[in-house]
Chain A
Amino acid sequence: MCISVLQLFYSFFKSLVGKDVVVELKNDLSICGTLHSVDQYLNIKLTDISVTDPEKYPHMLSVKNCFIRGSVVRYVQLPADEVDTQLLQDAARKEALQQKQ
């Protein structure tokens, strides 16, 4: 992914700091928590986490805050009412157009 698109999503995630999200990793583990911070690599820090299936995944029982490397994220599930999808779509389109030039 090129730099400016990453920048777009970096800005997007920055606007979601403080919201509750669920991060699904590429090894099928899903971690729910409050978005504390994000960086340019889309590494994510979550606070007050809980694993969505603690019976199956007791590995993180004593963890309250965690840092997730961006490269292992499959999905980030967002609260629908916190996202202006139209705005995001428009911004992404603008970005795509700028790249073509």
Chain B
Amino acid sequence: SDCACTVLIGPLICVYCFDWTVDLTVCVQGTLKGFDQTINLILDESHERVFSSSQGVEQVVLGLYIVRGDNVAVIGEIDEDTDSSLDLGNIRAEPLNSIVH
């Protein structure tokens, strides 16, 4: 009875994963191709959005990724119109805190 993930296959999504090594939450965008019960994900054409408090958003191309479900925090469905109107160069933000259990 997996509820919500099914509708996210196909459109562009961003996945907030946490990176245990560096103390922050990483934002990866891509096309969700598949998932399973533990929210392991197959993400195609993925790129990472790096937020910084001192400079604009940087995008790093990653390609085809499998993300282990343990690391997934939030999967957001991106509204492409809103996203293309964002001025990434002018967005400043602290990286998100890491998930602490």
Contact = CB atoms under 8 A, between A and B. Distances in A.
Interface in A9-59: 25-29, 31, 36-41, 43-45, 49, 56-59
Given A66-B74, A68-B73, A39 B93 contact: no
A26 to B, nearest CB: 5
Query: Is chain B's interface secondary structure helix, strand, loop, or mixed overall?
Result: mixed
B88 to A, nearest CB: 10
Given A39-B2, A67-B75, A61 B100 contact: no
A78 interface: no
Contacts of B69: 69
A50 B45 CA distance: 26
B93 A64 contact: no
Contacts, number: 98
A39 B79 contact: no
The range of chain A's interface size is 20 to 34
Query: Is chain A's interface secondary structure helix, strand, loop, or mixed overall?
Result: mixed
Nearest to A39: B3
B5 A67 contact: yes
B82 A59 contact: no
B60 interface: no
Given A63-B14, A67-B5, A27 B79 contact: no
Contact of A36 (B4, B49, B51, B72): B4
B79 A64 contact: yes
Contacts of B100: 26-27
A38 B49 CA distance: 28
Given A57-B93, A63-B77, A65-B76, A26 B101 contact: yes
Interface of A: 25-29, 31, 36-41, 43-45, 49, 56-69, 71-72
Ranked nearest first, the 6 interchain pairs of A and B with the lowest CB-CB distance are A45-B4, A63-B76, A62-B83, A39-B3, A37-B3, A62-B82
